[in-house]
Every structure is written in C-alpha cells, then in structure tokens.
Amino acid sequence: MNGKALPYLLLMPATLFLCVFFLYPFALVAFEAVTRDGAFTLDNFRTMAGSWKFPATVRNTLLLAAIVVPIQLAMALLMASVVSRLETGRSAALYIFAIPLGISDLAAGLIWLAIFDQSGFLNTLLSGLGIVDRPIMFLGYQSKLTIFIAVVLAEIWRATAIMMVILVAGMGLIPREYHEAAEVFGASPWKRFVRITLPLLRPSLQTAIILRVILAFEVFAVVAALGGTNLPVLMGETYNWQFTLQDRNVAAASALLILAISIGFTLFFLRVLRVPREARI
C-alpha cells in the first residue's frame, strides 16, 4: 500500500461519519431555516424573535449558563484536587463522583422532581420535622424562581462530573517535580495551586469550560421534567416549534441560533484560555 495514501484511508471512516451525521443534517437545517415554501426568506428568524416567549427564553438560557458553569467549575476543581491528592481509594472516589454521568438528563430531572414535588422527599421531611402544616407546591406555575433554583441544583449535580473527569486527567499530566520544587522554596498549597496547577491546567480548563457551556445552552430534559413550559429555554422552544406548533422552519432557525451562540462562546474561550505553544507541557 502506498504510504502516502495510508493516512487518508485511516481518516476516511471518521470523515464519512462526520459528513453523514453532521454536515448533511446541518445543511438540511440551515436550508430549512432560510427558506419557506422553497423560497429564500428571513421570516423564520423574524417569527422566532417576534414570539412573546423569545426574550424570556434567551434570558433564562444565558442566566442558567452564567450561574451553573462557574459553580460547576469551582466544584470540579475542588473535586479534581481531592481525587488527585488521594494516595489510596482514588479510583473509588473518582467512581463515586462520576456516578451522575451514568444517569440520563431526563432521569436526573425526574430524581429532582421526586425531591421537590408536592408529595416528594423535601415536603415529607419538612412535614416530619413539623416545619410546615401542609405540603408546599415548590414547582407550581407561580414559583418560577423555585423552578429555576431546582433546575440549577439538578444541573450542578448531574453534570459537574463531566468537568471533573477532564480536570483530573489534566492534573495527572502536570509533573510532580514542579510542586516539589515549589514546596522546597516554601510555597503554600494555595500558592502552588494558583501559580502552578491553574496555569498548567489551562488546556484542560479550556476543554472542560467549552464542553460544559455548549451543553448548558442545550439544556432541555431537566427543564422539561422540573418546570415544563413554566421555564422556557432555547432548546425547549426549538422542540415546541418543531413538534407542538409543527413549524420546522422556525425550529431550524432556533437551532441555528443555539449553534451560533455556542460557536461564539467557543471562540471566546479559545481566545481567553489560549495556551502559547512554548508554554505547553
């Protein structure tokens, strides 16, 4: 076999996979977003933006990402630091922390629904302690703040492990000699973390933050389980346009908006957390 052709042959399966399952569907969605009855138009985007739910949808999605991702990043750093420092039981701790990764989005939403429901665990606990006389409707249509808090808690519990696993892998690549040398010169654990771990962890931080931000903009099942339509988000409205209102053109426009926001934030974090070539491990 010609040695020059071998790399291209090895890349061919992955290339075909991307073309069939990403590029082709993307082209179809993009075409649907800018056409109506076969003619080019931007009315689909105008219809989407003119919906009375659109401002709240964008606000809720961005607010969820702005609250959830920083909290998850701080918790993932803490969990990864704990796992990396363990001499014994490291694998067990990693598996325990990663348990939520094996639970689907909808299942996670239903678990937290069982906590906040009118007949759920939280009301049972409060009634048993004598704090309340009758169950509280935490997830009622008038309790939008409580629904938002419930979604935030569910997302933090469900997806923090994604970032933790990436950061644990990144910490494992940092040479121990750097920390040992800093310790010899009297650097405190906090200074070693800030001056050594965080700078050398930037490639892993970049990957973890970008992945989590993209997933935060695609939140749907947890919101559907806990809030239904009481907490509109971009992905939920895309589903609503496609299956409830039966307007696939506006649904495609909404999907492109989510893609555009995701690409924008990806480019932002690639720029902010860019690692110079000479600084890489």
Contact by Cβ (8 Å): 225, 113 = yes
In this structure, is the dihedral angle defined by the CA atoms of residues 98, 101, 107 and 109, taken in order, positive or negative?
Answer: positive
Is 267 domain-assigned? yes
Is 121 domain-assigned? yes
pLDDT at res. 94? 87
Q: Is the pLDDT of residue 189 over 90?
A: no
Is 15 domain-assigned? no
pLDDT at res. 37? 85
Is 241 domain-assigned? yes
List, for residues 37-73, the tens digit of each pLDDT value: 889 999 999 999 999 999 999 999 999 999 999 999 9
| Both tokens assigned to 145 | 């703040």
Is 8 domain-assigned? no
CATH value at residue 86: 1.10.3720.10
Mean pLDDT of 180-202: 87
Q: Is the pLDDT of residue 281 over 70?
A: no
Is 17 domain-assigned? no
**Domain range holding 138?**
24-279
Report how many domains make up the chain.
1
Is 269 domain-assigned? yes
Confidence of residue 280 (pLDDT cuts 50, 70, 90): low
Is 7 domain-assigned? no
- Tell me the whole-structure pTM to 2 decimals: 0.88
Percent residues over pLDDT 70 in the chain: 97
- First-to-last alpha carbon distance for the chain, in angstroms, is 36
> DSSP states of 157-226 as a string?
HHHHHHHHHHHHHHHHTS-HHHHHHHHHTT--HHHHIIIIIHHHTHHHHHHHHHHHHHHHHT--HHHHHH
* Mean pLDDT across the chain: 89
